[in-house]
Chains A and B, each alone.
Chain A
């Protein structure tokens, strides 16, 4: 019984991390309607940036996130202007291969700069553990989980209460109608994309105390993010959060009962199954017609 509880705790905490990584992706899809194949690579950039600033300047990741979240936000906006905007109305081949190409560029750029070695950092709290009711709770993971919850709440409020957020929500629900309200959708796309990428910067800093980084780390996390997003329903924030928790739990349990190595294989299979059986995921609805950012 204790094992199951521990596995559940581990799974939920892991799920929080996955949600954090996936939220940016679902936001971008919901508003800009592009599947960003390079989403994971921006996480990788966030991780490496956090690593280097810690190694060279001894700046703690939890501080670094205040630097890199805005920086990646700007990077995201730049990417939107340069890469995404030109292919907004292009056929699928351009939309797929453009961001896929970007993903490869970033992965290999990192490879050339930093080689394929695994880099990790250790802070005073990296291995800190809270003991609660006989269960072990890893502190950095708990922090990441808490931030994930915080982000979901923040985004919910942002999308509901601020004009910019409402504009994004409107664009996600009905592009044309939003324009007729006076929304400058070009600007909204840029900001939404920037926000989605900024969130990866945040996530990157938060998970550096937990994971090692290497050039292709974004590929794995990126694929996981997709699984989460599809499971939760594209464009749906709450769905991304819940989807992340589900995947975290699956990984935790299957890792224990089956084999940790097969984790990835298992949830990719879930991914393909979800896409086929219930493409709208747990909560959302796929497709241009019924997109709601909740």
Chain B
């Protein structure tokens, strides 16, 4: 097969590159060129570190220089004052940086987008100022010189080549960590929370904790880079170790190369660092700031025109020019899904007793700014039912869902799930883990990853390995009819397919109660019928379903029982036929007495 040859060729090229890199400093004797490669790997290392929290998790930190500085100062101070080997000091610095990242992250992660970025930028400045101020510790702006005593223990080498191998090793390790994260459940969680935090919560992902872990790992790696730099240059000072320019640089390499990919940061560094070093060598200190000037400009261009970075653009071009070299992603071994195989839906029937309703809502209320969105709502849902929730616009249906699934805390009343009061849990992700899945009224597909990867973000909750998650996901895709589209990006789907995807993703978390919010909206009659069939199939497997719907034909056909909300209160419930003939319901919807003739 064509791809087979392509795959082999890629390996050959990679091995060749690896071999060259290994012997490089032995062949090339000019110290500048060795230095050049050291710089490339150094920045690649830092960029890979930043990418874990900035790329994978999507938290755009402009203050990573804090960790870099902590690393540099920790190892240096321990070395100079206590004689501790910088190798150990490096790890100490890394741990200190990780802890600091938690202290920074816990408050700052409550902010989003530009506000988060601004606060990290401000914190970078704070650290620079503190480092300048605490002269007793840091010698302030005078800086600290590291005495030149060569030796492995001192992490100081006469031969540049040794530094080269050290940083090369660091980079390989960082790439390894990055690659592992990318394929793991942790990585999937990060991507999910990057794309849409609410959707991630609904899939059982503990968003704050995952963000913190990403931050800690990222901080650790960047701190190691700080130590390396200190040992390489043998001088540190606050302006160099806590510099905004550095924060910019370690962000631009991943952005240009392809943010959120494993190799993107490396590509960015490989492309830009040589330019920077040549400029520096050529112009010396005469045009101080030129490289940052160019980087700034490139950054503007990159984020405006090339949001997915060079890597993606080159790959797109490459795919056209040299198809065999760039195989299309997601080449799974063809699965032979048997719909009934889906884990034999084996998790059902394990939770709690079979008698007693699966969900009980009692006197539930929720206020927004003095207005009661829902008030004294009580009903129950029995195992295996399909219950439809209807009501005119503004009746409070989605609010009800949000309270039941843990996105809003209630202002009164209780929600019992499997007999357990969950309203005090205060977290949607915990409720999901107990078995409640949901979809959203405005569908939230994860745009920048494939359909299969989307479903896997949910599947990872139960199937902890990539293989397990993938197998589960493929089978669910087969069930909902999205198997053919498994490699399509989330953003390229039609509305009907997005709804299918949302359902599939929720199913992947192995729920026993599924909350569907207006899943039929915007579907053609044919698609609506397909959706009805699908939901019936899901129910027949044993999953209880609660649907909000406006497409009346659909919900009447589908539901065993209907609950009607109006102005936040339940005004009726019963089998579909009864409800449709109920005067109160007709009045609520059509606004007047509009009796059937």
Q: Do A and B bind each other?
A: yes
A contact residues vs B (CB 8 Å cutoff): 35, 37, 83, 86-87, 90-98, 100-109, 111-112, 115-116, 215, 219-220, 223, 226-227, 259, 261-262, 264-265, 268-269, 271-272, 275-276, 279
Q: Which of B116-124, B162-170, B391-399 contacts A (4 or more CB under 8 A)?
A: B116-124
Please give the distance in Å from A266's CB to the nearest CB on chain B: 9
- B296 close to A272 (CB less than 8 A): no
Q: What is the interface of chain A mostly: helix, strand, loop, or mixed?
A: helix
Please give the distance in Å from B26's CB to the nearest CB on chain A: 37
- Top 6 closest pairs, chain A to chain B, by CB: A101-B299, A104-B296, A105-B296, A111-B289, A108-B289, A92-B113
Q: Which of B125-133, B180-188, B214-222 contacts A (4 or more CB under 8 A)?
A: B125-133
Asked if A108 meets B125 with Cβ closer than 8 Å, knowing A93-B307, A98-B303, A102-B300, the reply is: no
Q: Give B78-129 interface residues, CB cut-off 8 Å to A.
A: 107-108, 110-115, 117-119, 121-123, 125-126, 129
Q: How far is the CA of A96 from the CA of B125 in the complex (A)?
A: 18
Asked if A223 meets B119 with Cβ closer than 8 Å, knowing A90-B303, A112-B293, the reply is: no
Q: How far is the CA of A107 from the CA of B294 in the complex (A)?
A: 11
Interface string of B282-297 (1 = CB under 8 A from A): 0000011110110111
Q: Give B238-256 interface residues, CB cut-off 8 Å to A.
A: 244-245, 248, 251, 255
Chain A residues with CB under 8 Å of B358's CB are: none
Chain A residues with CB under 8 Å of B244's CB are: 104, 219
Interface residues on B, range: 35 or more
Q: What is the interface of chain B mostly: helix, strand, loop, or mixed?
A: helix
Chain B residues with CB under 8 Å of A269's CB are: 126
Q: How far is the CA of A223 from the CA of B119 in the complex (A)?
A: 10
Asked if A276 meets B111 with Cβ closer than 8 Å, knowing A105-B297, A112-B289, A261-B129, the reply is: yes
Chain B residues with CB under 8 Å of A83's CB are: 300, 304
Chain A residues with CB under 8 Å of B126's CB are: 264-265, 268-269
Please give the distance in Å from B244's CB to the nearest CB on chain A: 7
Best-surrounded residue of B287, B289, B298, B302 (most CB of chain A within 10 A): B289
Chain A residues with CB under 8 Å of B292's CB are: 104, 107-108
Please give the distance in Å from A224's CB to the nearest CB on chain B: 10
Please give the distance in Å from A194's CB to the nearest CB on chain B: 19
* Residue of chain B at shortest CB distance from A38: B296
- B287 close to A112 (CB less than 8 A): yes
Q: Give B118-153 interface residues, CB cut-off 8 Å to A.
A: 118-119, 121-123, 125-126, 129-130, 132-133
Chain B residues with CB under 8 Å of A101's CB are: 248, 295-300, 303
Chain A residues with CB under 8 Å of B255's CB are: 93, 97
The reply to whether the CB of B432 lies closer than 8 angstroms to some CB of chain A is: no
Asked if A90 meets B307 with Cβ closer than 8 Å, knowing A112-B289, A112-B290, A272-B119, the reply is: yes
B contact residues vs A (CB 8 Å cutoff): 58, 60, 62, 107-108, 110-115, 117-119, 121-123, 125-126, 129-130, 132-133, 244-245, 248, 251, 255, 259, 287-290, 292-293, 295-300, 302-304, 307
* Residue of chain B at shortest CB distance from A109: B293
Chain A residues with CB under 8 Å of B300's CB are: 83, 97-98, 101-102, 105
Chain A residues with CB under 8 Å of B287's CB are: 112
Asked if A97 meets B299 with Cβ closer than 8 Å, knowing A272-B108, A276-B107, the reply is: yes
Please give the distance in Å from B197's CB to the nearest CB on chain A: 13
Chain A residues with CB under 8 Å of B296's CB are: 101-108
Please give the distance in Å from A268's CB to the nearest CB on chain B: 4
Q: How far is the CA of A83 from the CA of B304 in the complex (A)?
A: 8
Q: How far is the CA of A270 from the CA of B459 in the complex (A)?
A: 42
- Given contact pairs A108-B289, A265-B126, enumerate 12 new A-B contacts (beta carbons under 8 Å): A93-B259, A97-B302, A98-B304, A100-B299, A101-B300, A106-B296, A111-B289, A261-B132, A262-B129, A265-B125, A271-B119, A272-B107
Please give the distance in Å from A96's CB to the nearest CB on chain B: 5
* Residue of chain B at shortest CB distance from A272: B119
Asked if A104 meets B245 with Cβ closer than 8 Å, knowing A97-B299, A112-B287, A112-B293, the reply is: yes
Q: What are 7 pairs between A and B in contact, CB < 8 Å?
A: A94-B307, A98-B304, A100-B248, A104-B293, A109-B289, A262-B129, A279-B115
Please give the distance in Å from A271's CB to the nearest CB on chain B: 6
Q: How far is the CA of A93 from the CA of B302 in the complex (A)?
A: 11
Chain A residues with CB under 8 Å of B245's CB are: 104
Asked if A97 meets B122 with Cβ closer than 8 Å, knowing A108-B292, A276-B111, the reply is: no
Please give the distance in Å from B442's CB to the nearest CB on chain A: 16
Q: How far is the CA of A279 from the CA of B112 in the complex (A)?
A: 12
* Residue of chain A at shortest CB distance from B122: A268
- A96 close to B107 (CB less than 8 A): no
